[in-house]
Structure 1
Amino acid sequence: MAQAQLEYGERETVLDGRYSWARLVASLVLATVGNVGLWSVILVLPEVQAEFAVDRGDASLAYTATMIGFAVGNLLLGRAVDRFGITVCIVGAAVALGAGYALAAVSEGLWQFAVLHAGLIGLGASATFAPLIADISHWFDRQRGFAVAITASGNYLAGVVWPMALKDVLAADGWRSAYLVIAIVCVSVMIPLALALRRRPLHVSAAGAVPVPPRQAIDLSPRTLQWLLVAAGVGCCVAMSMPQVHIVAYSADLGYGVAVGAQMLSLMLLGGVASRILSGFVADLIGGVRTLLIGSVLQFLALLFYIPFDGLASLYVVSLIFGLAQGGIVPCYAIIVREYLPAREAGQRVGLVLMSTVMGMALGGWMSGAIYDLTASYQAAFLNGIAFNLVNVAIMLFVLWRTRGPTTAPAAA
């Protein structure tokens, strides 16, 4: 008992301190740079389609390949970060991204391009999502929710920053030059920052350290809770994908044009960044489960608003509301894992749950398109998203019902 109390006291001198905040800034930069892997193929899709002389569906395979690599990487690298720490993962990711973009820039066919996006770009980008989120969660206690939310915001910030940074290169020199620029930036920025994060928290690095129990006690086994979170992650992100993946096409179908749809998507992503930061504050006050429930209910309402409100001004407003509703949902899964499950297993457990959210996005994007093909309308696709969203709400209500309350031991660091 004395050893546990001593170690908890040692952790208190580290958590939420100056080093933790400096590490958070570095993590946000890494997330913003590394998550370029999720957005770059979208930026170059028209040029790639034209150069390789393929149709839009075939050209989109590179995006699908990226999402598969990203999903698998969140699981595999989530396990790796528990064992080796975040520095090894980020250095490997920087090398993978640098090599992936450099080789893609000289690729001679679509299949080469797609394979590189799955095996190097998607996999490399994943290190700056779930593994990085799991790592920063170890360095905060009182403000853990905020720190997790800030790090997760890099995923959306990448979608805002990189298009603006690359637009002139794309216009002047084409997509191959843009990919070479990305390769150079990833290697030159990510490796030095990764080396600055070599320090590891006491409770996951000290030999013989006494494990500290989770904050929350629940009448469910860790395995059952884990798979409930996986199912909830799929449900919420099938719903989330409908506007995110199809808002541009939906805008074009309504006669407003692709450019207007792109503006709605940007507004949605900016709302998502604000939502993630706000949800972090809220989670520190009321916990991850309740915060996720609030976001999921608001997402349900926003999806519902899309059905009757299809005017131009209305769609801008609803898209902003949707972004503000859904942005904080995904980071809450990482917060819940840290509240309910062992700290030493954070990387693999956060990785598995966030992998399920990525798969939910991929599944939902395809389902919405398939439903549109069957019905020639997005109305049924919105209803499908609402149904999956209700599954998420039901699961989180069940988790909240089975929660017994805070543990009597010190909170897990």
Structure 2
Amino acid sequence: MSQDADRYQPDSSYAWLRLAVALLVGTIACVGSWSVVVVLPAMQGEFDTLRAGASLPYTFAMLGFGAGNIIMGRVADRYGIMVPIVMGAFLLAAGYAAAAMSHSLWQFALAHGLLIGMGSAAGFSPLISDLSHWFRKHRGLAVVCGASGSYLAGVFWPQIITWGVANHGWRATHFGIAVVTLVVLLPLAPFFRRQPTAATMAAAEASSAGARGDLGLSAGQLQLLLCVAGFACCVAMAMPQVHIVAYCGDLGYGVARGAEMLSLMMLLGIVSRIGSGFVADRIGGAATLALGSLMQGVALFLYLWFDGLQSLYVVSGIFGLFQGGIVPMYAVVIREYLPAKQAGIRIGLVMSVTVLGMAFGGYLSGVIFDYFSSYRMAFLNGLAWNLVNLSIVCWLMLRARRSMPPLQVAG
């Protein structure tokens, strides 16, 4: 009995296996965050709309994704992560089938908002909150690795979808995605039946309560600050991620080059996320969050000055390398300071707000482009929102540092 208990302790070999399977689930489920970005130019032509109108399906997908993070997070807190994964598989399959059969922009957008976005949420915050219970010493690394499923989706799916659209059309490609999500996710779901022990959860509750007391903020105050910071950073983040494919098309480089830049951005974002996990395990989530926000602002500034093909590849790579670790750090901060038994709903709430920021930022950038016929003002708008985020997280970082006990000097 003791050996069986040890096998399922935090940071055990089982925990690392659980992380690996979760990464695969996240990579498949988070297709909903990227497919609509790749087909945005085709949708604009198919439904004869302006750039802002073509951005609506992405906005709907992000709204559904945001709501799904809260709902699925609550379900995971109550029943475990297996149930959200099964729900996500059916929602994604239904959503992509409905999108493939849509005959108007609104039908396409609603399929993304009500089904695809909700289904994709099963591969993000519920998985992150579940993994946070299975790691203690390496929690930061585990959380960012689990969150990297969404970025792995951004590496592989744009290339697959670009090929599918070019060779079989966007409708057949969407039917293909429906089949893949169903046949991969359903068999993996039973692996996640096991839940953390009561002793593990009790220890986590005690640790977060003590840390929150040292920080000097109530749970509600910290939750609100993280929500505002998350919204602001993702409004800024949305400009390159949502519009890089269309931006490259406008510059005459072609949408395929833009898809390659998006994949490069996501690939280096994985490197950033994993690196931020190592950093967070050493300096804490708040300080790592502040560092990532600063670097994202630098990358957005570079987009203002470089628009050549080669330079855009470089700047997109830099952007991915700088910003990839930001969003998972909110989950790390939540697990450091907020109740562990509410991790699913609390992480889901902050993640949903970051998704709302992505949705708002993606749509707002399209509106700004339509008004100015240029993305320059959209990049400046992103910089302004990034400054709001940086101000909040720096204040939080300094407050966390002041609460730390002074180092004892030997002898």
**So what's the TM-score if we normalise by structure 2?**
0.88
Change (3 A) 1:98 1:144: same
The aligned counterpart of 2:35 is 40
The aligned counterpart of 1:382 is 379
Residue identity matched to 1:279? S
The aligned counterpart of 1:350 is 347
Which residue, out of 40, 45, 70, partners 2:65?
70
Q: Counterparts of 1:10-29 in structure 2 under 5 Å?
A: 14-29=9-24
Which residue, out of 113, 122, 131, partners 1:127?
122
Once the two structures are superposed, residues 333-377 of structure 1 have per-residue CA deviations (whole angstroms, 9 ceiling, x without a partner) of 110100111111111110111111111111222222333344443
Q: Count residues with an aligned counterpart.
A: 398
Which residue, out of 271, 280, 293, partners 1:283?
280
Q: d(CA) in 2 for partners of 1:169 and 1:250?
A: 21
Q: Counterparts of 1:279-358 in structure 2 under 5 Å?
A: 279-358=276-355
Give how far 1:62 is off. 2.4
Which residue, out of 140, 143, 146, partners 2:141?
146
Unmatched 5+ stretches in structure 1: 1-6, 408-413
Change (3 A) 1:35 1:376: same
Q: d(CA) in 2 for partners of 1:201 and 1:226?
A: 24
The aligned counterpart of 1:118 is 113
Change (3 A) 1:239 1:169: closer
Give how far 1:50 is off. 5.5
Q: d(CA) in 2 for partners of 1:305 and 1:191?
A: 43
The aligned counterpart of 1:194 is 189
Give how far 1:117 is off. 1.7
The aligned counterpart of 1:238 is 235
Change (3 A) 1:243 1:218: same
- Secondary structure in 2 matching 1:199: coil
Once the two structures are superposed, residues 112-162 of structure 1 have per-residue CA deviations (whole angstroms, 9 ceiling, x without a partner) of 332222111110111111111111111011111111111111111112222
Change (3 A) 1:157 1:51: same
Q: d(CA) in 2 for partners of 1:383 and 1:168?
A: 33
Q: Counterparts of 1:160-239 in structure 2 under 5 Å?
A: 160-203=155-198, 211-214=205-208, 216=211, 217-239=214-236
Once the two structures are superposed, residues 196-241 of structure 1 have per-residue CA deviations (whole angstroms, 9 ceiling, x without a partner) of 10100014998x9994231733111110000000010011111111
Which residue, out of 62, 81, 84, partners 2:76?
81
Change (3 A) 1:370 1:58: closer
Once the two structures are superposed, residues 14-34 of structure 1 have per-residue CA deviations (whole angstroms, 9 ceiling, x without a partner) of 111111011001100000000
Unmatched 5+ stretches in structure 2: 406-411
Residue identity matched to 2:332? I
Q: d(CA) in 2 for partners of 1:363 and 1:86?
A: 29
- Contact persistence 2:235–2:362 (CA under 8 A): yes
The aligned counterpart of 1:98 is 93
- Contact persistence 1:11–1:202 (CA under 8 A): no
- Contact persistence 1:276–1:327 (CA under 8 A): yes
Residue identity matched to 2:77? D
Q: d(CA) in 2 for partners of 1:110 and 1:254?
A: 25
The alignment yields a C-alpha RMSD, in angstroms, of: 2.6
Change (3 A) 1:108 1:203: same
Q: d(CA) in 2 for partners of 1:360 and 1:288?
A: 21
Identity of aligned residues (%): 54
